[in-house]
């Protein structure tokens, strides 16, 4: 058995990784009975060894370029024209793309494991160009964490939600510490299904953002308007409100761990995709709001994903837009061919 010793000092001072020794930790969780693997320790070790408040460095920028293609999109009240660009300039560098697969309440042990292995293999050649995350159901996180470790994959393991306390009498909830303990390094916050089916309000969303960022994990903050809000011209206003409330306590130095997912509610799981122009318009406005809150330079580095019926057919056209820096996928993340094609389109969207 390989033994690894990882000694971590408080990063406010220093983190030192020593070679091998030790037991337990992440990879033995979930009754998997496996050894502690040697996957990139920043990701694999995130889980087992980092503690709240420990932030990790992240390189976020890659050169920009665009791709094109055709895409039949839904247009229930176009917003384009009102805010076609964030004034960051079409030649500006695009942030490093980030594609996330939100599996929601889908897969089982065998199919989830197979899908995770397939994602790890398919995205290996893209690791230099982009970040990829998968968000399986809670119960499969340890299993999939192990599979990603075994594959030596840089795919980030994500959780679909979290709770806003470290431990205690909160039946049914899962804390950030627990998520880190099994290898999670990213968390979805404020997904529309949680906002609108579970009735999670703005204050709850804000608290979750605060918890995730304070723990040094990547926070994917989901925002977006409902159909009636779009047709009545409130898209930018709703995004502004959700952004300002969600990031009420966020500090500029935490932005490297923030990803914003613009997900028009009417597009999620409906097969109705926003037009690239409408998505760009909304996302340009989101970047403008971020610039007002945190400054233009900091705002230019934040990854803004589009989510809502993104497919292998429309991904390249969407991600060719300046302020669309990847995607958050539901349905398409469950089909390896589609997920792979979308990741490839994301990587190509920043190639010269
Ligand atoms: C989502 O749930 O975040 C999502 C974008 O779903 P879909 O891709 O299925 O629309």
C-alpha to C-alpha distance for 280 and 334, rounded to whole angstroms? 25
C-alpha to C-alpha distance for 257 and 59, rounded to whole angstroms? 10
CATH architecture for the domain at 98-349: Alpha-Beta Barrel (3.20)
Cβ atoms within 10 A of the Cβ of 232, count? 12
> Tell me, what's the pLDDT at 30?
35
Instruction: Based on the residue annotation, tell me whether 191 is a catalytic residue of this protein.
Output: yes
Contact 338 CB / ligand 1 (< 6 Å) = no
Taking only the tens place, the pLDDT of each residue in 110-138 is 999 999 999 999 999 999 999 999 999 99
Contact 268 CB / ligand 1 (< 6 Å) = yes
All CATH 3.20.20.70 domain ranges of the chain, comma separated, are 98-349
> Tell me, what's the pLDDT at 91?
54
Q: Ligand 1, closest atom to CA 268?
A: 10
> Tell me, what's the pLDDT at 202?
94
Taking only the tens place, the pLDDT of each residue in 262-299 is 999 999 999 999 999 999 999 999 999 999 999 999 99
C-alpha to C-alpha distance for 243 and 139, rounded to whole angstroms? 30
For residue 261, report the distance from its CA to the centre of ligand 1, in Å: 11
Taking only the tens place, the pLDDT of each residue in 142-185 is 999 999 999 999 999 999 999 999 999 999 999 999 999 999 99
> Tell me, what's the pLDDT at 351?
79
Instruction: Based on the residue annotation, tell me whether 321 is a catalytic residue of this protein.
Output: no
- SS3 category, 99: strand
For residue 203, report the distance from its CA to the centre of ligand 1, in Å: 23
Taking only the tens place, the pLDDT of each residue in 96-110 is 999 999 999 999 999
Contact 187 CB / ligand 1 (< 6 Å) = no
Q: What is the dihedral of CA 251, 252, 254, 256, to 10 degrees?
A: 160
Q: From 267, 307, 311, 315, give the residue whose CB has the most ligand 1 atoms within 8 Å, as the site to mutate.
A: 307
Closest by CA position to 143, among listed 311, 224, 26: 26
Average pLDDT over residues 256-261: 98
pLDDT of 83 > 50? The answer is no
C-alpha to C-alpha distance for 35 and 39, rounded to whole angstroms? 11
> Containing H/E element for 319?
helix 315-319
């Amino acid at each position: 058995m390989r033994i690894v010793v990882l000694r971590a000092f408080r990063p406010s001072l220093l983190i030192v990784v020593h070679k091998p020794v030790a037991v337990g930790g992440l990879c033995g969780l979930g009754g998997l009975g496996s050894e502690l693997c040697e996957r990139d320790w920043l990701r694999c070790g995130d889980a087992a060894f980092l503690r709240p408040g420990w932030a990790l460095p992240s390189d976020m920028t890659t050169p920009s370029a665009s791709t094109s293609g055709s895409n039949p999109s839904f247009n229930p009240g176009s917003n384009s024209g009102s805010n076609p660009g964030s004034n960051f300039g079409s030649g500006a560098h695009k942030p490093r793309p980030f594609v996330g697969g939100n599996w929601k309440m889908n897969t089982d042990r065998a199919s989830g494991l197979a899908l995770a292995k397939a994602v790890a293999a398919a995205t290996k050649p893209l690791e230099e160009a982009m970040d990829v995350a998968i968000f399986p159901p809670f119960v499969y996180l340890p299993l999939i964490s192990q599979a990603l470790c075994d594959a030596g994959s840089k795919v980030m393991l994500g959780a679909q939600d979290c709770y806003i306390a470290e431990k205690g009498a909160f039946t049914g909830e899962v804390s950030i510490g627990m998520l880190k303990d099994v290898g999670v390094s990213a968390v979805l916050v404020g997904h529309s299904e949680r906002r609108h089916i579970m009735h999670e309000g703005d204050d709850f969303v804000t608290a979750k953002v605060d918890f995730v960022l304070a723990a040094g994990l990547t926070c994917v903050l989901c925002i977006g308007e409902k159909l009636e809000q779009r047709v009545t011209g409130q898209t930018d206003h709703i995004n502004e409100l959700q952004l300002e409330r969600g990031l009420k306590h966020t500090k500029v130095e935490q932005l490297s761990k923030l990803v914003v997912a613009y997900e028009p509610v009417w597009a999620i799981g409906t097969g109705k995709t926003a037009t690239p122009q409408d998505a760009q318009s909304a996302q340009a406005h989101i970047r403008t709001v971020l610039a007002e809150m945190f400054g233009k330079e900091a705002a230019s580095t934040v990854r803004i994903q589009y989510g809502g019926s993104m497919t292998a057919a429309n991904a390249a056209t969407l991600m060719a837009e300046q302020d669309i820096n990847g995607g958050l996928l539901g349905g398409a993340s469950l089909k390896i061919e589609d997920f792979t094609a979308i990741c490839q389109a994301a990587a190509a969207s920043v190639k010269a």
